[in-house]
Amino acid sequence: MPDIFFYPTEIGKIGIGAQGNAITALYLPNQVPPSHMVVHETQVLKEAGRQLQSYMNRELKNFTLPLAPAGTVFMQRVWDKLLSIPYGETRSYQGIAQDIGSPKACRAVGQANNRNPIPIFIPCHRVIGSNGKLVGYGGGLNIKIHLLQLEAGS
């Protein structure tokens, strides 16, 4: 059974899920975790909560957590690319598609971004439309805006 623990943040209560010694999920305030998860704070969850709070306090720019997101090979390629987007910067869906060698896969990149099971730790909030507009975010655009502003220092 996967473990979950909830941490209060400035954007609301965030649930972080783990299986074994790896983070497998993050639930934003408007998302409901599956009922089969066991509320239990393991060492890896405690560390994830500490790093999340440090990030929210602008004290941490790079997470050093063992991540194990479940997804297709294509999704894994997209999520790996998201991990390379530097703190405070953004990339477009089109740019990500080109970077992973699938320049015509903008929509598929968007779907992989949408299915990212570990937002914030895998920074899908840093992906925007090629026209510079903020588009969809699983936690809501208000949270995406908040995270981008937090990273911009405003």
For each of the domains in the chain, give its residue range(s) and CATH number, in order of start: 3-56 (no CATH), 73-152 (1.10.10.10)
CA dihedral 52, 119, 14, 49 (to 10 degrees): -30
Q: pLDDT, tens digit, for every residue of 110-138?
A: 999 999 999 999 999 999 987 777 877 77
pLDDT for 154 equals 56
Mean pLDDT of the region 132-146: 84
106 is catalytic: no
144 vs 4: CA distance, rounded Å: 23
The half-sphere exposure of 43 on its side-chain side, counting CA atoms within 13 A, is 3
> pLDDT averaged over the chain?
94
Q: Of the residues 4, 37, 124, 148, which is catalytic?
A: 124
This prediction has a pTM of: 0.94
Q: Is 12 left (phi over 0), alpha (psi -120 to 50) or beta?
A: left
For residue 82, pLDDT beyond 60: yes
For residue 64, pLDDT beyond 70: yes
